[in-house]
Amino acid sequence: MKTLEWIKFLETQRTRHGKVLFRVAELANAAGRSHHALNVELARLVKNGVIARYATGVYGLPGAATAEHLVATLDADAYITGMFALYRHNLGFVELRAKRNNDFLDRLWLFAQSFWACFPGL
């Protein structure tokens, strides 16, 4: 495929299907080439800035991939926390506060009060 064909293919996949990251096997099938020939072509496209290499064997349009896309592509079992989702999409004010957990001390105090109530003469 020529450079303009690659750009058109990647843009079409992005607009129609929302796909921004591609593995080498997917690109080889789309181009109808072997992995070895495609690797040479991908190296040239990366050098010219047409395509970006996000990880080993993962390519896409430069600047098109977000953290969510990368996590889903690189590790299918990974997850993104709700706090990161709120921060990423500006859906709410995300604030981190240190919370002191007094449950243990409260239970200890209640135990001591009940103990001395049961045995007042000790």
Average pLDDT for residues 44-72, to the nearest whole number?
85
Give residue 47's pLDDT band: very low, low, confident or very high (50, 70, 90): very high
Residue range(s) defining the domain that contains residue 54: 3-69
**Domains of the chain: total:** 1
Q: Is residue 113 part of a domain?
A: no
Reference 32, options 65, 53, 5; nearest CA is 5
51/93: higher pLDDT? 51
CATH number of the domain residue 64 falls in: 1.10.10.10
What is the pTM for the complete model shown? Answer: 0.60
Cβ 72 vs Cβ 32: under 8 Å: no
What whole-number percentage of the chain has pLDDT above 70?
A: 63
Q: Check whether 67 has a pLDDT greater than 90.
A: no
pLDDT of residue 35: 86
